[in-house]
């Protein structure tokens, strides 16, 4: 008889980076639970292939073979190795990247309730742990790979980016976001350019935060610096400002500790960013990586507020003190919940021209669907406040309900009329369903296109533009109460290329510095959320003919020199990351 298949593989990883040690001076490591699979040499699994090729020395290192037990679970060859010996072992480096990329993929799939795709169409992402001798790491869609560099630190030891938890999760988040919203790397609004970086940092921060042991260690260390009693935390230290200064800043300082000289301290400056609605308009926040900090700051401020709220219900274990372990557990659970919410929000974003307000309204609406009662963490409330503190208002977002009787209270939900007229009151939508079939509508791009075309007037399509359904994805989400929600998410986009005079005639504005030889591409598109009966319940639409948004986008692109288009365009993330270095005016590259 075949033995029962193992439910998980467990492999050991470095929890943060080799520069982060516990109170006894040992590098923090942790086992991660991974989807079960029979690993090929490399490791080489069903979604990730580690290839140890160094382009700087033109060397291909031999792949390491894994053994499995009788239940099919992989045997971790590094389970008992002393932590300091892991740092110099390139076979462990390969295991570390495999395990962290796979656990990030599995985390996305758990949040989404379906398989998550990479952005390049293939099934197996190549991961190269020692790709080049350079202080950089990036996702490359054209290479179908994550590439991690290595470099000499100032004290002469070799720093491997493939050992840094947050760099690996950050790059994997780029690859997964690219798989869900391929057009988010197109030139568009300042927010869209910044979103990839800000989102990848949010995922990295929350992922590290939700690891067992990390928050305990940081809180305990901060406590002992202040001479606090062991395993206890003063009640006064769990208000949002204290938690931000201790846990969040402590974590941001540790993340990528070894890479500080190369990477800078992007996470630290996001956490320390003073609250102000005026940042978004300042010149320094027009640069993508700085603007991404606004997103990180808004989300993490919401996180500490929710965590602090939860502390109010905790009973003091002795006069004026809380149990540190419980405080850390609450923080970890909250981080895990917010991580799910941050990933699910992507399904409710428009396929093109994302602005931060769209992401906020997507996060709130997607959460409301699967979890009507939010009394535990109140993230919908805290996110709204966190974003509003930085001048981002959910009322400007693009999510609109399309189902009869779906009137939601605008005070408590994201669903409000956006500023510039894309609001579609549900009662005016007389959608035709009887020419499409509900079953193919959950999986067939042509069936969805038929639905959109049949309803093009109500959905405010631009009929003379090129239109294409990009994806159709059924998902099954489970709420904390076990309640299951079936949805199908479909996205389409539209393109129209116009001469400046045609643009002026169509949208009523002229752009500076263009000649009649120039061509201006206009993009639009929508995300459709169907319920389990194949009825449209949300429509998230950026109309190609929305003059206000198109003008804002085009003027920004002209000011940045990205329009009119001249010469070949690149879609390579190495360029985005190199540009981050350029933008700061410093001769270094960043993640
Ligand atoms: Zn990045």
User: What single DSSP character describes residue 66?
Assistant: P
Cα 116 from Cα 105, distance rounded (Å) = 7
Find the 170 Cα to ligand 1 centroid distance in Å.
6
For ligand 1, the distance from its centroid to the CA atom of residue 549, given in whole angstroms, is: 26
Å from CA of 536 to ligand 1 middle = 34
Bridge partners (DSSP) of residue 68 are: 74
In tens, the pLDDT along 166-178 reads 899 999 999 999 9
- Measured in angstroms, how far is the CA atom of residue 317 from the centroid of ligand 1? 43
* 107 CA distance to ligand 1 middle (Å): 19
Q: Give me ligand 1 centre to Cα 349, in Å.
A: 20
Q: Which range (262-276, 335-349, 443-457) has the least confidence?
A: 262-276
Mean pLDDT to the nearest integer, 101-114: 96
Among the residue ranges 309-318, 390-399, 479-488, 507-516, the one predicted with the least confidence is 390-399
| Contact indicator for 148, 162 with CB cutoff of 8 Å | yes
**566: CA distance to ligand 1 center in Å?**
25
Distance (Å) from CA 171 to ligand 1 centroid: 6
Q: How confident is the model at residue 256 (pLDDT cuts 50, 70, 90)?
A: low
From ligand 1's centre to the CA of 288, what distance in Å?
Answer: 10
Q: How far is the CA of 289 from the centre of ligand 1 (A)?
A: 9
Q: Is 267's pLDDT higher than 90? A: no
Q: What is the dihedral of CA 315, 317, 323, 326, to 10 degrees?
A: -40
d(CA 320, ligand 1 centre) in Å: 42
Measure 407 CA to ligand 1 centroid, in angstroms: 38
CA 175–ligand 1 middle distance (angstroms): 10
Question: For residue 580, what pLDDT band results from cuts at 50, 70 and 90?
Answer: very low
Q: For the purposes of burial, counting CB atoms within 10 Å of the CB of 501, is it exposed (0-12), middle (13-18) or buried (19 or more)?
A: exposed
Annotate 295-334 with b (16+ C-beta within 10 A) or e (fewer).
bbbbbbbbbbbbbbbbbeeeeeeeeebbbbeebbebbbeb
Q: Average the pLDDT over 135-160 and give the result.
A: 91
Residue with tokens 């948004």: 549
Q: Tell me, what DSSP letter sits at residue 423?
A: -
pLDDT at position 419 is 36
pLDDT at 215: 85
Instruction: Using the mean position of ligand 1's atoms as its centre, give its distance from the Cα of residue 169 in Å.
Output: 10
Phi-psi region of 464 (alpha: psi -120 to 50; beta: other; left: phi over 0): alpha
What are 12-32's pLDDT values in tens digits?
999 888 888 877 888 988 889
Indicate whether 1 pLDDT > 80.
no
Q: How far is the CA of 286 from the centre of ligand 1 (A)?
A: 17
Say how far apart CA 552 and CA 383 lie, in whole Å. 25
What residues contact residue 315 under an 8 Å CB cut-off, 6+ apart?
none
Give residue 137 CA to ligand 1 midpoint distance, Å.
8
Query: Which of the two residues, 359 and 424, has the higher pLDDT score?
Result: 359
Question: Dihedrals φ, ψ of 431, to 5°?
Answer: -75, 145
Say what the alpha-carbon torsion angle 130, 133, 135, 138 is, to the nearest 10 degrees. -50
Average pLDDT for residues 83-101, to the nearest whole number?
Answer: 96
Residue 415: its pLDDT value, please?
A: 44
The yes-or-no verdict on residue 474 having pLDDT over 90 is yes
| CA 591–ligand 1 middle distance (angstroms) | 5
Phi then psi for residue 254, to 5 deg, are -80, -30
- Write out pLDDT tens, residues 417-456: 333 333 344 445 778 888 888 888 899 999 999 999 999 9
Higher pLDDT, 194 or 226: 194
Q: What is the DSSP string of 364-421?
A: HHHHHHH-S--TTT-HHHHHHHHHHTTT--GGGS-EEE-STT----TTTSS----TTS
Note the pLDDT of residue 98: 98
Q: With the CA atoms of 147, 348, 117 and 53 taken in that order, what torsion angle do they form, in degrees rounded to the nearest 10?
A: 0
Rounded mean pLDDT, 265-285: 84
3-state SS assignment for residue 33? strand
CA of 146 to the centre of ligand 1 (A): 11
Per-residue three-class SS string for 512-548: CCCCCCCCEEEEEEEEEEECCCCCEEEEEEECCCCHH
């Amino acid at each position: 008889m075949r033995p029962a298949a193992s439910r998980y593989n467990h492999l050991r990883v470095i929890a943060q980076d080799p520069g982060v040690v516990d109170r006894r001076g040992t590098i923090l490591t942790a086992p991660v639970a991974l989807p079960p699979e029979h690993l090929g040499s490399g490791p080489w699994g069903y979604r990730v292939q580690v290839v140890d090729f160094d382009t700087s020395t033109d060397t291909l290192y031999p792949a390491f073979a894994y053994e499995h037990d009788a239940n099919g679970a992989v045997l971790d060859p590094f389970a008992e190795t002393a932590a300091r010996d892991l740092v110099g072992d390139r076979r462990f480096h390969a295991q570390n990247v495999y395990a962290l990329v796979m656990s990030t993929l599995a985390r996305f799939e758990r949040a989404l309730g379906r398989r998550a795709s990479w952005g390049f169409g293939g099934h197996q992402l190549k991961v190269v742990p020692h790709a080049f001798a350079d202080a950089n790491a990036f996702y490359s869609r054209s290479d179908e790979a994550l590439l991690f560099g290595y470099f000499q630190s100032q004290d002469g030891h070799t720093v491997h980016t493939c050992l840094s938890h947050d760099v690996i999760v950050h790059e994997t988040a780029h690859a997964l976001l690219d798989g869900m919203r391929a057009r988010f790397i197109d030139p568009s609004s300042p927010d869209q350019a910044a979103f990839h970086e800000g989102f990848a940092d949010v995922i990295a921060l929350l992922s590290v935060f939700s690891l067992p042991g990390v928050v305990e260690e940081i809180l305990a260390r901060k406590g002992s610096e202040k001479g606090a009693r062991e395993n206890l935390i003063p009640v006064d230290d769990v208000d949002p400002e204290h938690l931000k200064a201790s846990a969040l800043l402590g974590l941001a300082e540790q993340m990528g500790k070894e890479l500080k000289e190369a990477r800078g301290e992007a996470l630290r400056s996001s956490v320390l960013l003073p609250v102000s609605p005026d940042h978004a308009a300042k010149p320094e926040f027009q640069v993508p990586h700085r603007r991404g900090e606004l997103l990180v700051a808004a989300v993490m401020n919401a996180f500490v507020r929710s965590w602090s709220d939860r502390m109010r219900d905790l009973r003091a274990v002795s006069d004026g003190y809380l149990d540190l372990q419980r405080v850390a557990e609450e923080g970890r659970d909250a981080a895990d919940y917010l991580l799910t919410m941050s990933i699910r929000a992507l399904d409710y974003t428009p396929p093109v021209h994302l602005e931060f307000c769209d992401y906020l309204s997507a996060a709130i609406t997607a959460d409301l669907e699967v979890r009507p009662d939010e009394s535990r963490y109140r993230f919908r409330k805290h996110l709204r406040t966190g974003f509003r503190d930085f001048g981002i208002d959910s009322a400007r977002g693009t999510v609109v309900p399309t189902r009869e009787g779906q009137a939601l209270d605008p005070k408590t939900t994201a669903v409000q009329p956006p500023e510039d007229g894309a609001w579609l009151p549900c009662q005016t939508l007389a959608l035709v369903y009887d020419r499409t079939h509900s079953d193919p509508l959950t999986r067939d791009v042509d069936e969805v296109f038929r639905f959109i075309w049949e309803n093009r007037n109500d959905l405010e399509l631009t009929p003379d533009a090129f239109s294409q359904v990009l994806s159709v994805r059924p998902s099954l989400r489970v709420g904390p109460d076990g309640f299951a929600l079936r949805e199908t998410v479909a996205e389409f986009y539209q393109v129209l290329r116009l001469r400046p005079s045609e643009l002026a005639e169509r949208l009523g504005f002229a752009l500076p510095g263009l000649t009649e030889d120039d061509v201006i591409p206009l993009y639009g598109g929508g995300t459709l959320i169907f319920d389990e009966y194949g009825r449209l319940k949300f429509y998230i639409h950026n109309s190609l003919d929305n003059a206000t948004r198109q003008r804002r986008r085009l003027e920004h692109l002209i000011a940045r020199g990205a329009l009119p288009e001249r010469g070949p365009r690149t879609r390579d993330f190495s360029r985005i990351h190199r540009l981050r270095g350029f933008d700061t005016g410093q001769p270094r590259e960043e993640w």
